[in-house]
Homo-oligomer: A and B are copies of this chain.
Amino acid sequence: MALGKKRYRAVVLGATGVVGQKIVQLLMRHPWFDTVALCASGAREGRPYREAVGAPSAAWTACEAPDLPLRAAEPAGVEADVVFSALETAAAAAVEPRFREAGFPVVSNASALRMDPEVPLVVPEINPGHLRLADSQRHRHGGFVAANPNCSTIGLCLALEPIRRAFGLRRVWVTTLQAASGAGYPGVASLDLVDNVLPFIRGEEEKLESEPLKIFGALEDGGIRPAAWKVRARCNRVPVRDGHLLCVEVETLRPLSEEAARKALEAWRSPLGNLGLPSAPERPVLFRPEENRPQPVLDRDAAGGMAVTVGRLRVRGPRSLAFTALVHNTVRGAAGGTLLLAELLAATGRLGGRAGSSGRGGVQRGIRNSSSVRSAP
């Protein structure tokens, strides 16, 4: 397959935020993408990127950052094959459509357009078929926006996918213990997290209760029919740097045992296996049998931060399963997830790029039976 030989020019919007910086870092070592421009929505145009992120207390080593000037987040004059957006919600709502109208593929980590009926909201291992919405968008707008889900949503959906495939889902309760980095920088005040927990994260429960239903929804008549089950979420912020912990209780459609649930989790492999996506873990879900795992410090970096770790399985009724999952919120849940989505777009021929395409159809066939299962509950 000739994929590896293609190169894609990448632009990053919101490049100075926590997620934006992480995307830039990941792009620097990426085999497919070349960073050609970095944009910030503020008035820092022209300032060297290195200096903008080398400010006191930034979690970035300035001298390693790319030597590019910051640009305004405007499509005029931009030449690129893909635009990554790590903008904040309000800026994203205004800016992303402008890049779409200018013909760019926009891969966004922002929440602004996630629930827009035109926009595919994609966890590549779960609903790659939803990217057909990107094709319809391109038809209407010239470019398209494809959205990476909320960080907790991604962890929840990946942990649920093997359970859903094996037993079906009816109801999901999730209580989160989320890391500080999820709020960006400066984000949460230290006085709110030293010897304390915040029992509220604005907008987070709503996202966790709606996004999974779109992701697990069925592609029908050019739109998504949401999954029929329900999610109820409660979100907390805890004094942890990285790694969202999710305590999940599931009511399944079909009966299950702890042993069967464990086997389902251990057996599941990425359906993207044949595509050779650089960021795709072979096993998106890792099961750990120890009674005290997953833990943020021990498990967040599993598979380079791209795998979700699941443990503490407990079956307490014929259709009732409890488990605890951990997702690295700024890697799999944000920057890494966004990159993986861009890789999937590239591998399915949706990005353009500067060398011969391998053709979308062939690649699409590489995704094992994924589109056929999307309409299951």
Residues on A lying within 8 angstroms of B by beta carbon are 54, 56-57, 59, 61-62, 173, 175, 177, 180-181, 185-200, 232, 234, 236, 238-241, 245, 247, 249, 290-298, 311-312, 316, 320, 322, 324
Please tell me if the beta carbons of B189 and A316 are within 8 angstroms of each other in the complex: no
Shortest beta-carbon distance from A114 to chain B in Å: 21
The docked-state distance in angstroms from the alpha carbon of A239 to that of B232 is 25
A324 surroundings in chain B (CB, below 8 A): 199, 234
Please tell me if the beta carbons of B177 and A177 are within 8 angstroms of each other in the complex: yes
Please tell me if the beta carbons of A177 and B238 are within 8 angstroms of each other in the complex: yes
Q: How many copies does the complex hold?
A: 4
Shortest beta-carbon distance from A333 to chain B in Å: 16
Please tell me if the beta carbons of B247 and A56 are within 8 angstroms of each other in the complex: no
Please tell me if the beta carbons of A192 and B192 are within 8 angstroms of each other in the complex: no
Please tell me if the beta carbons of B240 and A197 are within 8 angstroms of each other in the complex: yes
- From the candidates B57, B175, B177, name the one contacting A292 in the complex (CB within 8 A): B57
Shortest beta-carbon distance from A61 to chain B in Å: 7
The docked-state distance in angstroms from the alpha carbon of A66 to that of B147 is 42
- From the candidates B190, B236, B240, B312, name the one contacting A189 in the complex (CB within 8 A): B190
The docked-state distance in angstroms from the alpha carbon of A59 to that of B297 is 8
CB contact under 8 A between A194 and B191, given known A54-B290, A247-B175:
no
CB contact under 8 A between A295 and B191, given known A232-B316, A234-B175, A249-B173:
no
- From the candidates B195, B247, B322, name the one contacting A297 in the complex (CB within 8 A): B195
Please tell me if the beta carbons of A311 and B199 are within 8 angstroms of each other in the complex: yes
The docked-state distance in angstroms from the alpha carbon of A107 to that of B371 is 59
Shortest beta-carbon distance from A324 to chain B in Å: 5
Shortest beta-carbon distance from A18 to chain B in Å: 8
The docked-state distance in angstroms from the alpha carbon of A198 to that of B293 is 8
Shortest beta-carbon distance from A134 to chain B in Å: 33
The docked-state distance in angstroms from the alpha carbon of A294 to that of B196 is 10
A195 surroundings in chain B (CB, below 8 A): 194-195, 239-241, 296-297
The docked-state distance in angstroms from the alpha carbon of A56 to that of B192 is 10
Shortest beta-carbon distance from A231 to chain B in Å: 10
The docked-state distance in angstroms from the alpha carbon of A199 to that of B326 is 10
CB contact under 8 A between A186 and B189, given known A196-B297, A247-B236:
yes
The docked-state distance in angstroms from the alpha carbon of A61 to that of B303 is 13
Closest B-chain residue to A174, C-beta based?
B175
Beyond contacts A59-B297, A197-B238, A197-B296: 6 other A-B pairs, Cβ-Cβ < 8 A, are A57-B189, A57-B192, A187-B190, A195-B296, A197-B295, A198-B292
Please tell me if the beta carbons of B194 and A193 are within 8 angstroms of each other in the complex: yes
Closest B-chain residue to A320, C-beta based?
B232
CB contact under 8 A between A189 and B200, given known A177-B177, A316-B232:
no
Top 4 A-B pairs ranked by shortest CB distance? A186-B189, A175-B175, A195-B195, A190-B193
A54 surroundings in chain B (CB, below 8 A): 290
The docked-state distance in angstroms from the alpha carbon of A177 to that of B176 is 10
